[in-house]
Chain A
Amino acid sequence: MKIRLVVLWMAVGIPLAWGVLKTLENALKLFQ
């Protein structure tokens, strides 16, 4: 059950983290 929990959260968490990172990179231009 715990492995399933980690795998499922990673499946949604990794794309979301990638999206947040890309957006943050873009948002930094506001302060440059």
Chain B
Amino acid sequence: MSPSILDRQTTIAEPGYNRFLVPPAALAVHLCIGQAYAFSTFNLPLTRLIGLTQPAHGDWNLKDVGWIFSIAIVFLGSSAAMFGRWVERVGPRKSMFVAALCFGGGFLVSAVGIHLHQLWIIYLGYGVLGGCGLGIGYISPVSTLIKWFPDRPGMATGMAIAGFGGGALIAAPLSVMLMAHFKTATSNGVLETFVTMGVIYFMFMMIGVISVRVPADEWKPAGWIAPARPKQLVTSANVAVESAWRTPQFWLLWGVLCMNVTAGIGVLGQASPMIQEIFNGRVSPAAAAGFVGLISLFNMGGRFFWATTSDYIGRRNTYMVFFLLGILLYAAVPTLGHLNSTALFVAAFCVILSMYGGGFATIPAYLRDMFGTYQVGAIHGRLLTAWSVAGVLGPVLVNYIRQYQIDHGIPKAQAYSVTMYIMCGMLLIGFICNFAMRAVNSKYYYKAPSLGKTPVSAQS
């Protein structure tokens, strides 16, 4: 039977193929699925489908609509964990295609839910189907990029994962523009926007599907020689996903990612009310929206900057910087609030959010260093469950502790101080996990069944 155009073997690059064609293929997928970060632009319009300008009787409430994003993030983590091995087996093209079908299809199914005014259909569409598209799409290009860039794995995956941050920067104004364009006397334009975005995102992700290539088994960059003595904490062996998640290193990295994400995600979700409440009367809602935009830019830029930096200073040292600098900055935030120093406050959060993004972008290269390239995509998929946990933990910590403080008579401007110190504690746990990192025991190394020897990656 001849191989399908989506099969891994039909995507093996011909000799002389320019490896810099692969990052835009990965970006085509990540720029689309990064839309998830901007889903909140639909929250208010979805609560006014009947009333149009104001919520009317029968309209959904904000709390129930908020579940759409939460379900999508849970399915992002769980689908990445479940389908990681399948993604490794079938290759990036087929998995990107499935991701495009799920993500684009999620919008279309949700449009049906809007048309019938059935919220459960949107939960199923954007939440479950779209969430699976997010998870599969997120991990699809990671292992391919690491194999194409053995000399710069951090930079390569940083580029793709920066695309996920960039996706929100595109989706937020695009959603607003489309809703304004489709708005009529009888519709607020959300249904039409969902259909349009589903089609646009599917087509854009197909650019990645068509252009992605995997390197031949023995391929390595011209003139590049693997270091004879690998750096400390960089393995030349491989660990299979089923063994990897039984190692202490996997769970230490899980803790590193979970703590780093928890510290950033809560702030990202509450950035606008937080700056307005801390600097009461001095920061307008428009300026607060500007603050959200600015930290989103640093979230994206940090992904590329820190992941690239990790190629030079090492993954462990990069996370040491995240945790130590993060603790210092979070501890300084209450003081900056008391000093009414808006500029320093904004600067501190720009750095914090750059390290939040950097944590996401550097983790695939860290996994490659610890477990080799063999099933790094699948291992990354399982590690992303830390994101799902952090996605609940971070906002809960920020929102509930703030509310608890206010209920106990603490002024709003000071209600975030305790939260910031708790974030310092989370980062300290992350620091300890990272500090405890050691090379994986050789008993976990993958041994190829037919040859009975430990394979090393094609590049090493």
Query: Out of B18, B27, B169, B172, which one reaches A12, CB within 8 Å?
Result: B27
Complex Cα distance, B297 from A24, in Å, reads: 8
Query: Out of A9, A18, A30, A32, which one reaches B346, CB within 8 Å?
Result: A30
Q: For chain B, residues 229 to 284, give those with C-beta under 8 angstroms from any C-beta of chain A.
A: 283
Q: How far is the CB of A2 from chain B (nearest CB, A)?
A: 8
Let me know if A23 and B207 touch, CB within 8 A.
no
Query: Out of B18, B169, B290, B294, which one reaches A5, CB within 8 Å?
Result: B18
Let me know if B169 and A23 touch, CB within 8 A.
yes
Q: How far is the CB of A18 from chain B (nearest CB, A)?
A: 7
Let me know if A19 and B289 touch, CB within 8 A.
no
Q: How far is the CB of A29 from chain B (nearest CB, A)?
A: 4
Query: Which residues on A sit within 8 Å (CB–CB) of B289?
Result: 26, 29
* Chain B 276-303 interface mask (CB, 8 Å, partner A; 1/0): 0000000100111111111011001000
Q: For chain A, residues 1 to 31, give those with C-beta under 8 angstroms from any C-beta of chain B.
A: 1, 4-5, 8-9, 11-13, 15-16, 18-20, 22-24, 26-31
Let me know if A8 and B25 touch, CB within 8 A.
yes
Query: Which residues on B sit within 8 Å (CB–CB) of A26?
Result: 289-290, 292-293
Complex Cα distance, B277 from A13, in Å, reads: 37
Q: B21 interface residue, CB < 8 Å from A?
A: yes
* Chain B 200-241 interface mask (CB, 8 Å, partner A; 1/0): 000000010001000000000000000000000000000000
Query: Out of A8, A15, A24, A28, which one reaches B211, CB within 8 Å?
Result: A8
Query: Which residues on A sit within 8 Å (CB–CB) of B86?
Result: none
Let me know if A23 and B27 touch, CB within 8 A.
no
Q: Which residue of B lies closest to A13 (CB)?
A: B24
Residue of B286, B290, B291 ringed by the most chain A CB atoms within 10 A? B290
Let me know if B170 and A15 touch, CB within 8 A.
yes
Query: Which residues on A sit within 8 Å (CB–CB) of B207?
Result: 8, 11-12
Query: Which residues on A sit within 8 Å (CB–CB) of B20?
Result: 5
Query: Out of B25, B211, B293, which one reaches A27, CB within 8 Å?
Result: B293
A-side interface mostly: helix
Q: B166 interface residue, CB < 8 Å from A?
A: yes
Q: Which residue of B lies closest to A26 (CB)?
A: B293
Contacts A8-B211, A12-B24, A12-B28; A1 near B166 (Cβ below 8 A) = no
Query: Which residues on A sit within 8 Å (CB–CB) of B287?
Result: 29-30, 32
Q: How far is the CB of B155 from chain A (nearest CB, A)?
A: 15
Residue of A5, A16, A28, A31 ringed by the most chain B CB atoms within 10 A? A16
Q: B163 interface residue, CB < 8 Å from A?
A: yes
Contacts A5-B21, A11-B24; A16 near B31 (Cβ below 8 A) = yes
Spell out B's residues near A (CB within 8 Å).
16-18, 20-21, 24-25, 27-28, 31, 163, 166, 169-174, 207, 211, 283, 286-294, 296-297, 300, 346
Q: A23-B297, A28-B290 are in contact. List 14 more A-B contacts (CB 8 A).
A: A5-B18, A5-B21, A8-B21, A8-B24, A12-B24, A16-B27, A19-B170, A20-B300, A22-B169, A23-B169, A23-B296, A24-B297, A30-B290, A31-B290
Spell out A's residues near B (CB within 8 Å).
1, 4-5, 8-9, 11-13, 15-16, 18-20, 22-24, 26-32
Q: Which 8 A-B pairs have the closest CB atoms?
A: A30-B290, A19-B169, A19-B170, A29-B290, A26-B293, A27-B294, A27-B293, A22-B173
Would you mind naming 29 contact pairs between A and B with Cβ atoms under 8 Å apart? A1-B18, A5-B18, A8-B21, A8-B211, A9-B24, A11-B24, A12-B27, A13-B24, A16-B31, A16-B166, A16-B169, A18-B170, A19-B166, A19-B169, A19-B172, A22-B169, A23-B173, A26-B289, A26-B290, A26-B292, A27-B293, A27-B297, A29-B286, A29-B289, A29-B290, A30-B288, A30-B290, A31-B290, A32-B287
